[in-house]
């Protein structure tokens, strides 16, 4: 008998632990204080996390008299957003989401459509200060759901010395106001390739992740094409059109002529092996801290010779309030606070991030280096958000695989055929998701 009791006791104890582990519900605050909880995707000891903590402290100080307290929880993400997103997904099934979450730009549509996040229009009236690319990214079906933490962009880094040695007059290089066409850019590549007998530029074509879509979609947009229709419901008949073929032909030519490569030497630009690299604004930080002897400049994207229209990528993680929040007014206030002018400025000063507001941009451009300002100007005038669709994961993968396909140019001479195959994958995913 004793044994049985012991066994039952230990079993129920185990069960209790198990249940307790799953049921960590938030306790009501006894003092009547309103608590606004927030999850962020970075760790508390990195620069970005430190800024968030500071801004939350400032929020609490400002609203201390109103009996409101914001609490921040750091859930660092791993490489592709895992870890953090897993936690959000788990919280969805158990109904334990906080009031405010961060989410990656392309997730806006999926989260908004599924009712994970709530729109901010009721609470945030003044939206004119936001950069258009940020509004575009955070808007789903006409409503603003999320506001970017910061902005980013991609440009072409060049090694000043290597270009000079190849006989390029740096004064003739393109600017945001006066960009080069693909043809002019190819000529530069030819010159550099002949001089150094190496690929002229690392376009990061070896990576098979989001950077491919992020950096290469602007070529399609520049040619006057798009990946999805305006309402996000059609890919077939939009993506597999002539402008995309033109953009893909340009990328293929870069590969065919040996101007760029699918298998670049590691850190070829940073160690001055290749004269150019196509990369995001974040590379500035890397160059400053790890490769400070590289004398570099940044030029904007080359443009389609037909349209001459400069388009650049944009986007980043964002703040949004959850549908589950019981304190929407304060949750929205916190979202607004974390992305306001002061937060922008503080974040941009600590990491190489671009601001999301005109008001903060005005202050920051005076402090930024010339290179940062190329990115800022390019973003402000030509930034284009990635497509807003719940099927984004499949759409972006189909795009990345299109690049993968066309980079094996001897097997895929017919670009139109590649596009027609890949667009079917996009379309069926979109149909399923809508």
Partner 1 sequence: MNKTILKETRPALPIERKTVNKIRWRENAVAYMFLGPALLILLMFLVIPSIMAVYYAFTDYYLLTPDLRKFIGFDNFIKLFQDPIFLKSLGNTIKFVVLLIPLQIGAALGLALLLNKKRKANAFFKVAYFSPVVMSLVVISVLWMYLLNPNEGMINNILAHFGLSPQPFLTSPKQAIFTIVVVSAWQGAGLQMLIFLAGLQNIPEDVYEAAQLDGMNKWQRFIYITLPLLKPTSVFIFITTLISAFKLLVQPMVMTQGGPVNSTMTVVYYIYQTGFTDRMVGYASSIALLFGTIIGLVTLAQRKLVKEDEDH
Query: Which residues of this protein are in contact with partner 1, per CB under 8 A?
Result: 3-4, 6-7, 10-11, 14-15, 18, 80, 82, 86, 89, 92-93, 110-111, 114-116, 206, 208-209, 262-266, 393-394, 397, 401, 404-405, 408, 425, 429, 432
> In terms of CB distance, is 11 or 170 closer to partner 1?
11
Nearer to partner 1, 328 or 424 (CB): 424
Residue among 31 and 93 whose Cβ is closer to partner 1: 93
- Rank residues 293 and 411 by Cβ distance to partner 1 and give the closer one: 411
CA-CA distance, 309 to 201, in Å (whole number)? 22
Cβ nearer to partner 1, comparing 82 with 237: 82
Output the smallest distance, CB 109 to partner 1, in A: 11
Tell me the C-alpha distance between 54 and 337, whole Å.
Answer: 12
Q: Tokens 């066994």 map to which residue?
A: 7
**Separation CA 120–CA 134 (nearest Å):** 14
48: left (phi over 0), alpha (psi -120 to 50) or beta: alpha
**What are the C-alpha distances in Å from 103 to residues 129, 139, 214, 307, 350?**
21, 13, 17, 34, 21
Q: How far is the CB of 307 from partner 1 (least distance, A)?
A: 30
- Cβ nearer to partner 1, comparing 64 with 265: 265
Q: Which is nearer to partner 1, 95 or 289 (CB)?
A: 95
Chain centre distance of CA 59: 26
Nearest-approach distance from CB 393 to partner 1, in angstroms: 5
* Closest alpha carbon to 428 in 400, 389, 402: 389
Nearest approach, Cβ of residue 292 and partner 1 (Å) = 23
CB of 300 to partner 1, least distance (A): 29
Supply the minimum distance, in Å, between the C-beta of residue 304 and partner 1. 27
CA gap 409, 405 in Å, rounded: 8
Alpha carbon distance 158, 287 (integer Å): 12
Tokens at 159, concatenated: 């090694």
CA distances from 274 to 188, 196, 214, 392, 429 (A): 13, 8, 22, 33, 39
Closest separation between CB of residue 433 and partner 1, Å? 8
* Residue number with CB closer to partner 1 (125 or 266): 266
CB of 232 to partner 1, least distance (A): 16
Contact between 120 and 328 (Cβ < 8 Å)? no
d(CA 329, CA 42): 25
Q: Is the dihedral of CA 289, 291, 295, 299 positive or negative?
A: negative
């Amino acid at each position: 008998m004793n044994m049985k009791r012991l066994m039952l006791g230990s079993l129920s104890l185990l069960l209790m632990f198990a249940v307790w582990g799953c049921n960590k519900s938030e306790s009501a605050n006894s003092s009547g204080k309103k608590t606004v909880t927030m999850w962020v995707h970075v760790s508390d000891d990195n620069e970005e996390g430190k800024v968030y903590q500071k801004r939350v402290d400032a929020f609490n100080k400002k609203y201390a008299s109103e009996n409101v307290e914001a609490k921040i929880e750091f859930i660092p993400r791993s490489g592709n957003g895992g870890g953090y997103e897993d936690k959000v997904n788990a919280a969805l099934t158990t109904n334990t989401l906080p009031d405010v979450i961060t989410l990656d730009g392309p997730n806006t549509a999926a989260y908004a459509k599924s009712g994970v996040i709530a729109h901010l229009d009721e609470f945030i009236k003044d939206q004119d200060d936001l950069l258009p690319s940020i509004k575009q990214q955070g808007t789903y079906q006409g409503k603003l759901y999320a506001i970017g933490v910061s902005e980013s962009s991609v440009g072409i880094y060049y090694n000043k010395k290597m270009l000079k040695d190849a006989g390029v007059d740096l004064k003739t290089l393109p600017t945001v106001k006066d960009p080069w066409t693909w043809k002019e850019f190819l000529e530069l590549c030819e010159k550099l390739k002949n001089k150094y007998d190496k690929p002229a530029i690392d376009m990061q074509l070896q990576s098979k992740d989001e950077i491919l879509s992020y950096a290469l979609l602007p070529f399609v947009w520049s040619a006057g094409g798009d990946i999805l229709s305006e309402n996000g419901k059609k890919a077939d008949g939009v993506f597999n059109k002539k402008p995309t073929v033109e953009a893909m032909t340009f990328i293929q030519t870069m590969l065919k002529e040996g101007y760029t490569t699918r298998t670049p030497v590691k850190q070829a630009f940073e160690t001055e092996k290749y004269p150019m690299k196509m990369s995001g604004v974040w590379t500035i930080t890397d160059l400053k801290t790890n490769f400070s002897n590289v004398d570099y400049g940044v030029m904007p994207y080359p443009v389609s010779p037909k349209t001459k229209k400069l388009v650049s990528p944009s986007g980043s993680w964002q703040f949004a309030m959850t549908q589950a929040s019981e304190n929407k007014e304060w949750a929205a206030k916190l979202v607004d606070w974390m992305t306001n002018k002061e937060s922008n400025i503080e974040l941009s000063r600590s990491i190489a991030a671009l601001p999301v507001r005109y008001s903060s941009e005005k202050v920051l451009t005076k402090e930024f280096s010339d290179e940062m300002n190329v990115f800022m100007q390019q973003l402000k005038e030509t930034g284009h958000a990635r497509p807003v669709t719940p099927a984004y994961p499949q759409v972006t993968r189909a795009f990345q695989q299109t690049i993968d396909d066309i980079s094996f140019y001897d097997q895929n001479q017919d670009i139109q055929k590649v596009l027609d195959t890949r667009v079917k994958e996009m379309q069926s995913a979109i149909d399923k998701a809508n």
